[in-house]
Structure 1
Amino acid sequence: MGSVLGGLMLTACSTSAPHAVDGSGAEPRGGAVVIAADQEAGRAPVPAGPPPAAADPGPGQADQGAGQAGVRGSALIVAVDQASRQVLVLDGQAARESGPEAGSEVGPEADQLPVVWSWTADGDDRLADLEPARSWARPTEARDVVLDGEGSLLVTASGGLAALVDTATGTPIWATDLGSSVNPHSAELLPDGNVAVVASTAGWVRLYAASEGPRSTTYTEQELDGAHAVQWDEGAELLWVLGDDTLLALRVGGTPDIPSLTPERSVPLPEVGGHDLAPVSSAPGTFWVSTGDRLWRYDSHLDRFEAVGLGAEDSARGIKSVGSEPVTGRLLTITPDHAGSCSWCTSAVTFHHPDGTLALAGTELYKARWWTTPLPGPGPTNRPR
């Protein structure tokens, strides 16, 4: 079976003799299918050449310039920078034109980075009761979400903080301190305003009744070893949670003030080390899943994993975050460069199909995602300190 996603050819290969797309030689577990990025089913490999162009935006979906009121995320990226302890929304337009050997070289000072908006818990008196000097240490997640029709920011940090923030004002809508021993790794907003949080060290996903107030601590919990990522599937109305070796689908029940979680499907991963989970923008019910050595595409309708080749031999190893741009389908990944004091961080955002690099000297990025909601404007707000 072959399919095209944002210019990326995914081709199912035989499961009887799987091959590793990353050169590791390790075979995936179970009956997972391995995908070659340059080969269509039943045909000879496509000759090497420049990466295919991204799909053209549809009518009314052309990119808008960054740093303006109402700018949309087709040119914007949100990243968590553990060096500055900030969430940075970056102008990624320059990287859209750059090749793998290029990039947007910038200096280490914050004002030299292509930042159009930023947020930090540090120094915010509205979060003083949650001790952000401790709880905001090593931010692990930042994603833009929509609450009651307005853009919001959802964040977590290894220090224990989980928060939902109004991007127009920087005001925390809901926040809690989970403690420094559980390692909150990601969060997701549900349609009723409640927030799901996963903690990798504690090994659970909690659904907090965030809709009930700014410091609501009511939650329901489901255990999952190595819980690293969480994603709401609107079409199936399921909460998907990624663990070390399992992808778990949960049915949300109860009421907004007293929610419940019921396991509905448990899917073994094709290899251990589950880390990130993100929707494939062009295929509802299909997800990007990163593990220790590979990037996978999981189709929940077919209940099948397909490994995705990204070109370079080691480009799919250790991916911390992944996502496809909603308009073009262009893929973005964050992979540690094992340089500097943060061995799990990097100072560059990597793009695939077409390839590109956004180098951000002086940063220690843990995750980055496409920013898809309008930003307040005009001009930068809440700039880095």
Structure 2
Amino acid sequence: MVVPSTASAATADFPVLAGDQNTDKIYRLNPATWTWDSWTWAPTAARGYSDTEIADFNGGNDFRVRNTPAGQRLVVVDGRGLATVATYPDGNRVWANKGAGADNRHSIELLPDGNVAVAASTGGYVRVYATSSTATASYALEQAHAALWDPQIQRLWVAGSPGYGTAGEYQLLTALEVTGPASAPGLRVDPSRTLTIPGNDAMHDVSADITDPDRLWLTTNQRVYTYDKVTRQLTTINRGAVKSVGVQPSGQTVETRADRYKTPPGGCTAVNTWCTDTLDFYGPDRTVTRAGMQFYKARPASPYYSAEDVALRGRVFDRAGDTVTRIDGNASIGRIAAAAGADGRLHALTLIPGSGLWSRTRDANGTWESTATQIDESARITDAAIAAGPDGTLHAFTLIPGAGVWYRKRPAGQPWDASSTKVDSGTDLTSIAAVVNPVTKRPHLLTAGASGVQDRSASAAGVWSTTALLVDTNASIADVAAAALPDGSLHVFTVTAWGSVYHRTGTDTAWSGSAAPVPGGTESPATGQVRALAAAGWPANRLDLVTVRSGLGLWSQSGTGSSWPAPARLDADPGALQAYAAHLADGTLHTGRIAELS
């Protein structure tokens, strides 16, 4: 039998929340003293809840604490129908929805965009509720018991038991992509992330391991499992009737196990088949009993989704035709960008969140440098861009949230500048791209943020403009890419938060007044929702647009800007997270991808 870590519980461990279905309240345990503190929660009029929302509250079937830009939030779902978001620790109402008690809502998660995901067992669904509108999105799942957001892969893990109570029953763990803007969400299964466990053994809980971002914990009627997201393998821990499991920073686990199935049976045995009056801790082992309680679930009050609330990471692969080369084996890379010069060399940037930015070059003979050169040590960089000029000069840009965009160059045959210079002071930026006009040799920085898309350029002598051109007023751009053609025309591509792709043309001094939609840019079952994009032009005479589509790999389209074919699959890797695109001097298209958990 595999047992959890033997690490000792520490004062750094989080308080433990436990929902009692006898007194109809959530209680809080201090793991440093193993005592219950004075904090409790239930919906009340004083906390802003209506009579309807208060009615029949039964202590909560699930509850979590989450960090948000507005402060920490408590999310609670109750089997009698209430789903709510409240301030934490005060517990005041922020949002609430009262559903049918017959649905038996079982699990709740607060998504990064502020929406709420709920799993209902008897209702047989996982549903996302928009908190800014009345919109919802549903996924049918019999005996749905769990919903957990995963920031590493940007998916919602869900679990249920299709065929429940029949000879064909099996247990299902899968991941859902949450599509669309926050005001109009959608749900779609990621086909690469489905695990089935055969047999009549109903699913109960899925939780993250705060000590290991690659591991999930699962519980069923008969077992506790750990699940490795990299190898897709289960490890069995033979404890049955566990209704919830959670992991503390120390490695200690906390579980609730139905008293009726313990030996000897616990104090809640006579009440029902699922409650307990005791929280069980493992590694080190301990029990905490509160007489008269009817606990269903208990959770560490960790405000984090996982060990690291950082998305997009993996190794980098380069493709040219049918040849695929792994160019960087570091599994922590979060962003990539690339540019090719007229000399036939390809230059790639790799960003490791929290560690800085590296540069690596592919020689004209096809050989990649064996090691990368660190060109920026800032731990705060979240995006990077690179462009090559016709004279061989490389232009690199880094985005630091709240601190603007920084620039450094590498003249042909010389090293990178030792330091960077701030060229844009925008504090609301989320994505950047770069391009050089091959005729005028002017570099351009494209930024996307709350103010839309803007273009800032430098003269051929390297003097950056003090003002930026407004390219697009859309404040919901998820990613931006840029390219140029030999005639000096500039091209910018954007993808909205809901997956629509647009193209716009420009010059050094002006951009077209409207953007044209790119065919196949909108969401569809065949091609998926676009999450990221890259573009390549000069020194080739054509534009190539590469789009990353959730769970469906890389897709490509080649066009002149006025005529675009439907997207075609370029790379089927379902774990592709981000891409680059660049043309060599001979016109060969090189595309790169971050392969998640590769």
Task: Name the aligned partner's letter for residue 29 of structure 2.
Answer: L
Which one has more relative contact order, counting CA pairs under 8 Å at least 6 apart?
1
How many angstroms apart in 2 are the aligned matches of 1:52 and 1:133? Answer: 42
Please state whether the residue corresponding to 1:225 is helix, strand or coil: coil
Tell whether 2:247 aligns with 1:324: yes
- Residue 196 of structure 2 corresponds to 268
Report if the CA contact (8 A) 1:236-1:285 is conserved. Answer: no
How many angstroms apart in 1 are the aligned matches of 2:128 and 2:182? Answer: 10
Further displaced range: 219-228 or 165-174: 165-174
CA deviation profile, 1:50-99 (whole Å, cap 9, x unmatched):
x974168xxxxx726xxxxxxxxx1511011111111111223344xxxx
Tell whether 2:232 aligns with 1:295: no
User: Which structure carries more helix by proportion?
Assistant: 1
Report if the CA contact (8 A) 1:79-1:88 is conserved. Answer: yes
CA shift in 2, pair 1:234/1:125, >3 Å:
closer
Tell whether 2:2 aligns with 1:37: yes
- Residue 54 of structure 1 corresponds to 7
- What's the CA shift for 1:126? 2.3
Runs (5+) with no aligned partner, structure 2: 162-170, 261-268, 305-598
Report if the CA contact (8 A) 1:209-1:258 is conserved. Answer: yes
Match 1:63 to one of 8, 11, 35: 11
CA deviation profile, 1:264-298 (whole Å, cap 9, x unmatched):
13221255311000012222132100011110111
How many angstroms apart in 2 are the aligned matches of 1:336 and 1:122? Answer: 29
Report if the CA contact (8 A) 1:278-1:288 is conserved. Answer: yes
How many angstroms apart in 1 are the aligned matches of 2:122 and 2:46? Answer: 27
**Match runs of 1:126-205 below 5 Å:** 126-134=48-56, 136-137=57-58, 139-148=60-69, 150-205=71-126
Please state whether the residue corresponding to 1:181 is helix, strand or coil: helix
Report if the CA contact (8 A) 1:270-1:305 is conserved. Answer: no
**Match runs of 1:203-218 below 5 Å:** 203-210=124-131, 212=132, 216-218=133-135
- Residue 220 of structure 1 corresponds to 137
CA shift in 2, pair 1:295/1:123, >3 Å:
same
Report if the CA contact (8 A) 1:247-1:267 is conserved. Answer: yes
Please state whether the residue corresponding to 1:150 is helix, strand or coil: coil
CA shift in 2, pair 1:361/1:55, >3 Å:
closer
Please state whether the residue corresponding to 2:273 is helix, strand or coil: coil
- What's the CA shift for 1:116? 3.5
- What's the CA shift for 1:37? 2.3
Runs (5+) with no aligned partner, structure 1: 1-35, 39-50, 57-61, 65-73, 96-112, 310-315, 375-385
- Residue 146 of structure 2 corresponds to 229
**Match runs of 1:352-367 below 5 Å:** 352-367=282-297
- What's the CA shift for 1:219? 0.7
How many angstroms apart in 2 are the aligned matches of 1:75 and 1:192? Answer: 24
- What's the CA shift for 1:171? 1.5
Rg bigger for which structure? 2
How many angstroms apart in 2 are the aligned matches of 1:252 and 1:133? Answer: 31
- Residue 105 of structure 1 corresponds to none
Tell whether 2:300 aligns with 1:370: yes
- Residue 312 of structure 1 corresponds to none
Tell whether 2:25 aligns with 1:86: yes
Report if the CA contact (8 A) 2:246-2:254 is conserved. Answer: yes
Tell whether 2:265 aligns with 1:342: no
How many angstroms apart in 1 are the aligned matches of 2:85 and 2:290? Answer: 26
- What's the CA shift for 1:124? 4.6
CA deviation profile, 1:19-50 (whole Å, cap 9, x unmatched):
xxxxxxxxxxxxxxxxx227xxxxxxxxxxxx
- What's the CA shift for 1:360? 0.8
Please state whether the residue corresponding to 1:367 is helix, strand or coil: strand
Task: Name the aligned partner's letter for residue 134 of structure 2.
Answer: T
Match 1:251 to one of 172, 177, 183: 177
- Residue 118 of structure 1 corresponds to 40
Task: Name the aligned partner's letter for residue 106 of structure 2.
Answer: H
CA deviation profile, 1:245-277 (whole Å, cap 9, x unmatched):
111211111000001111013221255311000
- What's the CA shift for 1:367? 0.4
- What's the CA shift for 1:195? 0.7
Please state whether the residue corresponding to 2:50 is helix, strand or coil: helix
Report if the CA contact (8 A) 1:233-1:285 is conserved. Answer: no
- What's the CA shift for 1:128? 1.5
Count how many residue pairs are aligned between Structure 1 and Structure 2: 284
TM-score scaled by length of structure 1: 0.69
Please state whether the residue corresponding to 2:134 is helix, strand or coil: coil
**Match runs of 1:5-20 below 5 Å:** none
Task: Name the aligned partner's letter for residue 347 of structure 1.
Answer: D
How many angstroms apart in 2 are the aligned matches of 1:350 and 1:282? Answer: 19
- What's the CA shift for 1:160? 0.4
Report if the CA contact (8 A) 2:47-2:92 is conserved. Answer: no
- What's the CA shift for 1:343? 3.1
CA deviation profile, 1:325-345 (whole Å, cap 9, x unmatched):
0x2110111001132323311
TM-score scaled by length of structure 2: 0.45
How many angstroms apart in 1 are the aligned matches of 2:47 and 2:17? Answer: 24
Report if the CA contact (8 A) 1:90-1:117 is conserved. Answer: no
Further displaced range: 181-190 or 334-343: 334-343
Report if the CA contact (8 A) 2:159-2:206 is conserved. Answer: yes
